[in-house]
Amino acid sequence: MPIQLPVPDLVSLDLLRSVGEFGSIRQAAIVHGVSQPAASMRLHSLEKVLGLTLLNRSTGRAQLTPAGVAVVEWSAQILEGVADLMRATKALRQQGQTSLRLAASMTVSEYLVPVWLSKLGSAGMDISVSLQVGNTQRIIETIRAQKADIGFVEGWSVAPEFSSAMICSDDLVVVVAPGHPWANRKKIVTARELASTPLIVREIGSGTREILDKTLEAQGLKTLPMVELGSNVAIRSMVGSGVAPGVLSRLVTKVEVESGRLVIVKTKGVALDRSIRALWSKSSAMNELASSFLKLVGQWYRNGELQ
């Protein structure tokens, strides 16, 4: 959702925080390296943008009004986030000639990593990135062998030998071709019906397959594969031919569903939500470039810059 304009500038919010801390515009101006008139002008502009009186200037000291206290509290997380962003981007600039080694599962590498790298490029980050692609099990093996700095996989958990961080959420969906009997049925497909239907699915070892198998196993059921494929594109194409339902990430099916080439089937009792997680080895410290990249990606999601 676009931010409503006008918006307060970050420097003025930081200045207001300092005024609240020191109780003086003059002292806050000294800390920020600006003149007192310039600081006062910034604070007046901030009040105008927000439409609020933030300071009580009648006592001889600059005291925050209740509205000013609230604005300082609300903006604290934003200012801390920007400080993290600036530290991270500085580290990336300083490490400009260093290669960043990433490993990612197929879904992540196809639909998320290109967006992340594009944002790095638009921010002027001159870094060399290598990317290894495979299913979740292969990514785990790559990180275990220390052939990549960070791995990105889908799933609910990771082995204790790895450190991990959740990046974003994702879910799996059951999809069919528009001409399939499930495409227009009003009755919701149950877990038992899904388990008794031959499906087009990913291979064992992929995060997508792991989630499907564990979801059905929790109800005493098993996946019934018609075909197991190691490619999201191949599954999508085969499902589109109408031969059978398939189970894929919502990210993978987004364009086809929006264009009407595939239809998402409503299910009941089938919890196919999952998280996209970063993982790295506990046995060796993450280098500064990898740490900065991971922090930036997390910051983009927290700030709503990525969906």
In this structure, the number of other CB atoms found within 10 A of the CB of residue 247 comes to: 26
Query: What are the structural domain ranges in the chain?
Result: 10-81, 99-168+275-302, 170-273
Residues 246-278: tens digit of each pLDDT: 999 998 999 999 999 999 999 988 888 888 999
What radius of gyration, in Å, describes the C-alpha atoms of the chain?
25
Determine which helix (DSSP H) or strand (DSSP E) holds 264, and give its type and residue range. strand 263-265
Tell me whether domains 10-81 and 99-168+275-302 share a fold: no
Contact 50, 8 (CB under 8 A): yes
Amino acid 161: pLDDT? 86
pLDDT, tens digit (0-9, with 9 covering 90-100), for 20-47: 888 888 888 888 888 888 888 999 998 9
pLDDT value for 121: 72
**Average pLDDT for residues 74-79, to the nearest whole number?**
85
Residue located via tokens 């290109």: 114
CA 57/CA 54 separation, integer angstroms: 10
Task: Specify the CATH number of the domain 99-168+275-302.
Answer: 3.40.190.10
pTM (2 decimals)? 0.64
Residue listed under structure tokens 């292969």: 138
* CATH topology (fold) of 10-81: Arc Repressor Mutant, subunit A (1.10.10)
- Contact present, 179 and 298 (Cβ < 8 Å): no
Fold of 170-273: D-Maltodextrin-Binding Protein; domain 2 (3.40.190)
First to last CA, the chain: 11
Q: Is the CB of residue 277 less than 8 Å from the CB of residue 108?
A: no
Per DSSP, what are the bridge partners of residue 306? none
Distance CA 221, CA 194 (A): 9
For 83-122, how does the pLDDT look when each residue is reduced to its tens digit (9 = 90+)? 777 776 666 665 544 678 999 998 899 889 999 988 887 6
Question: Is residue 208 predicted with pLDDT exceeding 80?
Answer: yes
